[in-house]
Amino acid sequence: RLTGTKSGCGGGGCGACTVMVSRYQPATKTISHFSATACLLPLCQLHGAAVTTVEGIGSTKTRIHPVQERIAKAHGSQCGFCTPGMVMSVYTLLRNKPQPSMDDIMQALAGSCMNFTQIILSFEEIESNCCQLYKLQQMDTEEPEGGLLRIQTYQHVNLTETWLNIILVSLTGLKVFKVATN
């Protein structure tokens, strides 16, 4: 059961439901990542996409992600309700731009419920140590073997106009859901 992505305002304003949506771009043979407020994202738009929730990047049972760790160490959680959304916004930014500026970070957090000083300061630390973060997590712009590029291997699924394929990314791997559209 996934509980990290919260249902907050229902209008996309607070950012508590932010997830990362990833799509394989066949023309460029790259994966594009974007953050999205799940409360405003119709299920039909996720056809062929991978959705990563905050549980997909780290947990206390395995290992928390450096973005999560920085917020915790800076005491930047406020009430904590929308913190997972802020984590996912910054995580998506780092996937697209490994060395973001402070302006990039502020723009990524623009949809959050509040830009609390401690949260901003925790991400300022991410900005200055970003390269070390990526070395620690062995993250780069390409997905690791068996990672998101496995989207290509799902081409054997018999698609009709009445089904959507949605891929959910978790720490244990990928899962394809077939959802009836009618």
pLDDT in the model for residue 34: 92
Q: Is 0.85 surpassed by the pTM of this model? A: no
Q: Are 35 and 110 in contact (CB under 8 A)?
A: no
Bridge partners of 85, per DSSP, are none
Render pLDDT for 105-131 as a digit per residue (tens, 0 to 9): 888 887 666 656 777 777 776 655 544
Q: What would the two tokens of residue 95 be?
A: 């996937």
Q: Nearest 10 degrees: CA dihedral of 138, 140, 144, 147?
A: 120
Render pLDDT for 160-172 as a digit per residue (tens, 0 to 9): 444 445 555 555 5
Q: Please name the CATH architecture into which domain 18-180 falls.
A: Orthogonal Bundle (1.10)
Using DSSP, state whether 104 is helix, strand or coil: helix
Render pLDDT for 16-55 as a digit per residue (tens, 0 to 9): 888 999 988 889 988 889 999 888 888 888 888 888 888 8
Q: Residues of the chain with pLDDT > 70: what percent?
A: 63
